[in-house]
Amino acid sequence: MPAIFGKGKYGDFQKENSEKSEHSFSWRISALVFFIFFISLAIFFKLYFLQVISYSSFRALAENQHNIFKKLVPERGEIYLQDKSGLYPVAVNKETKMAYAVPKEVNEGDIEKTAEAVSQIFSLDKVEIIDKLSKREDMYEVLKHRLSDDEINKINEANLSGIHLTSESYRYYPSTELAAQLVGFVGWSGDSFGGRYGIEAFSEEELKGQEGNIFHSRDSGGRQIMIKEKEVQEARDGTDLILTIDHIVQYETEKILKSAVEKFQADNGSIIVMETKTGKILSMANYPTFDPNNYAATEDIGAYRNLAVSSAYECGSVFKALTMAAGLDSNRVAPETTYVDSGAVKEAGYTIRNSDLKSNGLQTMTQVLENSLNTGVIFVEKNLGNKNFADYVRRFGFGELTGIDLPGEAAGNIRNLGNFKSDIQFFTASFGQGITVTPLQLISAYNALANGGILMKPQIVEKKIFSDGSEERIIPEEVRRVISEKASLQISQMLRSVVVNGHGKQAGVPGYAVVGKTGTAQVASSKAKGYEDGMNVGSFVGYAPMNDSRFTVLVKITNPKDVQWAESSAAPTFGELMKFLLEYYGIEPTEEYTQADLNKFNQTHTLSQSFLRKDEEKEKNDKKSEDKKIN
C-alpha cells in the first residue's frame, strides 16, 4: 500500500508542491541579496557623491553659513586719543572665539547629549541649551562669547555636530588705567551687554553699530521654504571716535594728580585741562582710578565715576572771581573801587567773617581777590543786587548741564538763589558756599573769563569716522557771551595780581603771566545741616598766558590732610601742570625770568619727580621679585 500510494495521484502533487516552495524561497533570498546590494551600492555612491564629488560645494555652503553669521555681527567702533604724532588707541577690538549652534545640524535624538556636553564645557545651564538646540529652523543660536583657551580646546576635542566656533572681537584697553573714567568699559549689566560709564556708555549706539538680519520665506506652518533664496542685510560696523584728549597731556595730568593725592593723603582728586579758545578738553583725570581690562576686580565701584563731571560741591573762594567779574561787567565796581573791611558782615542773625578772621580796613577790589576777603565779595553782590547776581550765575552756566558728551553729568544746585528776599543765601553764594557746582561747570566759567567773556561748550569728541570711511569733524560751539571783553581783561589783570601778590603764588610759572584763584571750601555734612568738622576741598582754577590764554586748568583736591589751605595743595599742583603744558606746546615766555627763579620752582614743585621715583622703586621691587622666582 505505501508503495502503490507513493506512485499515485497524491504523491505526485506533494512532490510538485515541494519543488514550488524551494523555488520561491530561493527567489526571495536572491531578491533580498540583490536589494541589500542595491542599497549598499546606493549608499556608497551617495557617500562618494557627498564626500568626494560634492565636497567643495558643501564646504562652500558651510563657509557661506559661517560668512552669513559674520555678516550679522558688527565690529564695535574704536576710541582714540591723539598727540603730536597722530592717533593713540585707548579702546580697541581684539580677536577671540565665540561658540554658536546650528540647531538643524544636531540630530533630534542627540539634543540632550549635546546639551549636556556643551553645558559642562561652558558652565552653562543645560535646559537653556536644550531650548536653543530645539529651535530647528534657526540659522544659529549664540552659546557663549569670549571663550577661554581651555574652553576652545575642549569644544574642539568634543567634535559635536552642530556646534561651531567663530572669531569675534572683545574690548581691550591697551593703556589700562589711562583715562579710565573718561573712556569707561564694555561689560554686562543684567542681560544687557554694552558700554558702561564714560564714552563707551554715552556713545553706545554709535559705537556698537547695527546688527544684520536674515530674511527668508516661510510656509503656513512657519517652516523655511528652502527653494527661496535668503536675503541677508549685512551688519553696519560701529563708528570710531577720536577724542580731543592729548594722550601725553593726559598721562602727565594723571601722574601729577596721583602724586598730589598721595602726598596730601587726600580722599580723591580731579583735574581738567581745557583749550581756552575752543573749549576742547585736553585732559580729564580723577584719582583713585581703575583698570577697565579688569574692572570686576575694583573694590570700590565709586572709582568708575567721573567725578569731574558728576560730583557737585561747594567750591568756596574760587567763585569770588566770578562774582567780581559780574560786578565789573555791570559797572557796579572797578578794580580800584574801595570799601572798608570790618572783618565781618551780620545778616539775619548770622555773622559772616573773613577766612583769616581779620579786618583789613580800606581795600580795593583787587585786594579783595588777593586776600580772598568774604566781606569784599559780599560788598560786590550788594551792589549787583540779588536778581542781577542770580542772572550772572546762570549766564556762567551754573544750575544747568554743559552738554558734554559724557554720561552722569550733574547740574549742581543753585536753588538757594530762587528767593531774592533771602540776602544771607546770596551773601554766602558770592564766595562759593551754599550752592554746588561741578568741576566742569567751574572750569567752563573760568574759561569764559580767559576767552574774552565768551562761554564755550566743553568738547570731548574731535572727530567721528564712520564705517563707510566718511568723517565728521566736530566744530567748537559758542554758548553765549557772559561778560564784556573789557570786563574779561580787567578780571584777568586782577587774577594775575592774586598769583603775584596774593594766595596763588605757588601757582605761578617762571617766565609766564599765569592768572587764577584759590578756593578752600568746607564740606557739607551728609547727615545733618552744616559742615563736616576738619574736612575741606582745595581748588585752584586759572589760565595762561594772561593776554592770549591757551590753557584753562582746574585742580580739585578733596580733604587733604595736614594742609589747611588750597594755596599749599591745589595751587602748587596747578603750577606744576601749567609749566608742563606751556613747555610741551612750545609757548613762548611772556616775561623775563632767571635761572634762580626756575631752580626755586623746581625745588618746591616735585610731584612729577616723586611719581618717577616711585615708578623706579616699583620697577626695582618687581625685578627683585622676579629674580627670586627664577632662583
Please give the full DSSP string across 606-619, using - where no structure is assigned: -HHHHHHHHHHHHH
567-580 mean pLDDT: 96
Pair (30, 134) in one structural domain = no
Taking Cα atoms as reference points, which of 555, 557, 520 lies closest to residue 541? 555
In this prediction, residue 3 has a pLDDT band, given cuts at 50, 70 and 90, of: very low
Residue 626 has a pLDDT of 52
Q: Check: CB of residue 409 under 8 Å from CB of residue 310.
A: yes
Residue 40 has a pLDDT of 72
Domain for residue 239, yes or no?
Answer: no
Domain for residue 620, yes or no?
Answer: no
Domain for residue 489, yes or no?
Answer: yes
28-44 mean pLDDT: 72
Residue 29 has a pLDDT of 75
In this prediction, residue 2 has a pLDDT band, given cuts at 50, 70 and 90, of: very low
Pair (248, 193) in one structural domain = no
Residue 523 has a pLDDT of 84
Domain for residue 27, yes or no?
Answer: yes
Pair (415, 351) in one structural domain = yes
- Is the predicted pLDDT of residue 13 greater than 70, yes or no? no
Burial of residue 272, with CB atoms counted within 10 A of its CB: 0-12 exposed, 13-18 middle, 19 or more buried: buried
Domains contained in the chain, number: 3
For 415, residues 6+ apart whose C-beta sits below 8 A from its C-beta are: none
498-506 mean pLDDT: 96
244-254 mean pLDDT: 98
| CATH number, domain with residue 319 | 3.40.710.10
Here the cell at position 540 is 585752584
Residue 59 has a pLDDT of 52
Residue 609 has a pLDDT of 82
Q: What CA–CA distance (Å, rounded) separates 378 from 186?
A: 48
Here the cell at position 286 is 580723577
Handedness of CA 62, 63, 69, 72 (dihedral sign): negative
- Is the predicted pLDDT of residue 549 greater than 90, yes or no? yes
For 542, residues 6+ apart whose C-beta sits below 8 A from its C-beta are: 446, 495, 499, 504, 507, 514, 515, 516, 517, 552, 553, 574, 578
Pair (43, 88) in one structural domain = no
Taking Cα atoms as reference points, which of 97, 162, 150 lies closest to residue 123? 150
Q: Is pLDDT larger for residue 357 or for residue 191? A: 357
Pair (41, 90) in one structural domain = no
Q: What CA–CA distance (Å, rounded) separates 517 from 424?
A: 23
Q: Check: CB of residue 467 under 8 Å from CB of residue 236.
A: yes
Q: What CA–CA distance (Å, rounded) separates 556 from 287?
A: 11
Domain for residue 228, yes or no?
Answer: no
563: left (phi over 0), alpha (psi -120 to 50) or beta: beta
Computed over every residue of the chain, the mean pLDDT equals 88
**Least confident segment among 221-225, 243-247, 305-309:** 221-225
Query: Distance of CA 320 to CAs 143, 210, 355, 538, Å?
Result: 60, 49, 13, 14
Q: How far is CA 582 from the centre of its chain?
A: 28
Q: Is pLDDT larger for residue 109 or for residue 488? A: 488
Domain for residue 220, yes or no?
Answer: no
Q: Check: CB of residue 251 under 8 Å from CB of residue 178.
A: yes
Length, in residues, of the chain: 631
Pair (254, 362) in one structural domain = yes
Domain for residue 186, yes or no?
Answer: yes
Domain that holds residue 95: 75-208
Pair (47, 187) in one structural domain = no
Pair (118, 251) in one structural domain = no
- Is the predicted pLDDT of residue 58 greater than 50, yes or no? no
Residue 124 has a pLDDT of 94
Last residue of a domain, one of 208, 228, 257: 208
Pair (48, 86) in one structural domain = no
In this prediction, residue 629 has a pLDDT band, given cuts at 50, 70 and 90, of: very low
Burial of residue 7, with CB atoms counted within 10 A of its CB: 0-12 exposed, 13-18 middle, 19 or more buried: exposed
**Beta strands 240-246; 79-83: pairing state:** parallel
Pair (431, 283) in one structural domain = yes
Here the cell at position 422 is 533771602
**Least confident segment among 54-58, 265-269, 371-375, 582-586:** 54-58
Residue pLDDT, tens place only, 156-189: 999 999 999 988 888 999 999 999 999 999 998 7
DSSP E strand boundaries for 197-305:
213-215, 231-233, 240-246, 268-275, 281-287
In this prediction, residue 6 has a pLDDT band, given cuts at 50, 70 and 90, of: very low
Domain for residue 22, yes or no?
Answer: yes
In this prediction, residue 220 has a pLDDT band, given cuts at 50, 70 and 90, of: very low
**Does residue 208 sit in helix, strand or coil?**
helix
184-201 mean pLDDT: 90
| CATH number, domain with residue 89 | 3.90.1310.10
Q: What CA–CA distance (Å, rounded) separates 599 from 360?
A: 34
Residue pLDDT, tens place only, 399-458: 999 999 999 999 999 999 999 999 999 999 999 999 999 999 999 999 999 999 999 999
Pair (177, 104) in one structural domain = yes
Taking the CB of residue 52, how many other CB atoms lie within 10 A of it? Answer: 9
Tell whether pTM > 0.75: yes
- Most confidently modeled of 104-108, 229-233, 349-353, 471-475? 471-475
Pair (480, 366) in one structural domain = yes
517-526 mean pLDDT: 86
Percentage of residues in the chain having pLDDT higher than 90: 70
